[in-house]
Amino acid sequence: MTFSMAWGDGSCQAAGGDALDQLAGFRRDSYRCLWRRADALFETVDAVLTAGRVPSLPYLSLEPVMRRGYGMVYQGLAEGRIDEDALRDLLVRSRPADWPCAFGIDASTIGRPWAVTSPGREFHHHSCAGHTGGGDPVIKGWAWQWLSQLSFGADSWTAPQDAIQVGRDDVTVATAAQVLAHAARLQRAGETRVPLYVMDAGYDEAPLTWELREHLDQVQILVRVRNDRVMYRDPAPEPRRPGRPRRHGEDRFECADPGTWGEPDQVLIRDDPRYGLMTVMSWGGLHPKLACRGHFEGMTRPPVIKCHLIRVTVEHLSGGRVVPGPLWLWWAGPEMPDLDLCSRGYLHRFDLEHAFRFAKSALGWHKAALRTPAQFGRWTWIIISAITQLRLARALAEDHRLPWERRRRPGRLTPGRVRRDFARLAALAGTPASPPKPSKAGPGRPKGRRSTPAPRYDVIKKAA
């Protein structure tokens, strides 16, 4: 009823115009992606958006927007069903069209060290070693990989559009499949630009390029590589002789030795307001020496995988920090790289780290004590839907700043400040969820029946 009243009296148009229409439309369309326990799941999203810091899932039932008991929070995540493909299509259609066509890909670990009844746990690297007890950077848990559109503005906003669970052994294959599926959705949504997918040094650049070799005219990837990498150029033409032809030239390209670089194919020098003088250079036709192991195990001869190597240097960092060594990036895609897009894209890849921190510290993404990865996957889609609604509501929110916080211009609020005003905006946009039906307590467990212990699962270890 709230939904129909808010739209019937025209208050949405009067309050926010197109921005409020987009927010209300996204809420309505995202509700249609919920197949089972839709009302409970949708009100859980609203509870995440209007609550304070979320210490655990039952506290969400204390919010006025959650009109159901705390048991329905768990029941929605345990028994609910989400049309993930439809929700991915909706997130792509709702992407900010004025942002660059650059997308960051990164994984975050959800620690489950003591959850012996949770299947699918593996050993993953954890960035906060203090959380593991004893400072061990490896923790038992799950890893979820997000794909988010990057903004080149002076803020930390991102637009998450996909999330998948990844294991330690299938990251390259899963990432390639995620990239291709997202690129296909962009094309169906009318995107004409070639998307750039940016990743950090934890991804294997050569195997990923090999998996995408037939689609590099439709996508481009950018991966950070070590400062001591060694590449090779094509061999010089030589007279025909017996045996296999050479695959690598004698001239080595050593990132640590400027004397081996030669003249770059492209050079870009620009003055950046944040980093000062920025110099970007690229060399094409380079390829590493590979071995028939790991991703290429079983091949009689490893392939030759070519790339453009990009070097980025800056004059200074914000906050007076010391400038580290140069940044080396592996690029593969159609024709020649856009050096301005690549340099900005990688520098703004760190905005995805801020999105993870906000999802965990403010929205309680890692606080949900759920047993199975499927349940946690539904919780992840709830978090992504909440972040998307905050972005759509950014132009409408009022600044409820704390006394020690700076004033911010309208439309320049952080995700946390938009969340403080979301209860008012949710009332304007309305909710498509139906009110709960009157009910009474269930019969409970039959007399004489005992619950059996939940099955235990060993941590999955990487094969030797």
pLDDT tens figures, 78-92: 999 999 999 999 999
Cα gap 413→400, rounded to integer Å: 10
Q: How far is CA 94 from the centre of its chain?
A: 16
In terms of Cα–Cα distance, which of 229, 450, 188 is closest to 327?
229
Tokens of 302: 């490893």
Cα gap 211→400, rounded to integer Å: 48
**pLDDT at residue number 136:** 66
Q: Which residues of the chain are modeled with pLDDT < 50?
A: 1-16, 129, 131-133, 464
74 Rama sector, left if φ>0, alpha if ψ -120 to 50, beta otherwise: alpha
In terms of Cα–Cα distance, which of 425, 387, 363, 382 is closest to 42?
382
Domain boundaries, the chain: 2-82+372-429, 88-234+250-356
Residue 118 near residue 372 (C-beta atoms within 8 A): yes
Tokens of 114: 């003591």
Q: DSSP characters for 107-170?
A: EEEEE-TT-TT-TT-EEEE-S-GGGGSSS-SEEEEEEEEEEEEEP-SSS--EEEEEEEEE-SSS
Phi first, then psi: give them for residue 52, nearest 5 degrees. Answer: -80, -145
User: Any residues with CB less than 8 A from the CB of 375 and at least 6 apart, and which?
Assistant: 77, 78
pTM for this model (two decimals)? 0.91
Q: How far is CA 411 from the centre of its chain?
A: 23
Cα gap 122→113, rounded to integer Å: 10
* Residue corresponding to tokens 């169906």: 188
The CATH number of 88-234+250-356, from 2.60.40, 3.90.350, 1.10.3470, 1.10.472, is: 3.90.350
**pLDDT at residue number 275:** 83
Residues 256/257/263/265 CA torsion (nearest 10 deg): -20
What confidence tens digit (pLDDT) does each residue in 206-261 have? Answer: 999 999 999 999 999 999 999 999 999 988 777 777 767 777 878 899 999 999 99
Residue 306 near residue 287 (C-beta atoms within 8 A): yes
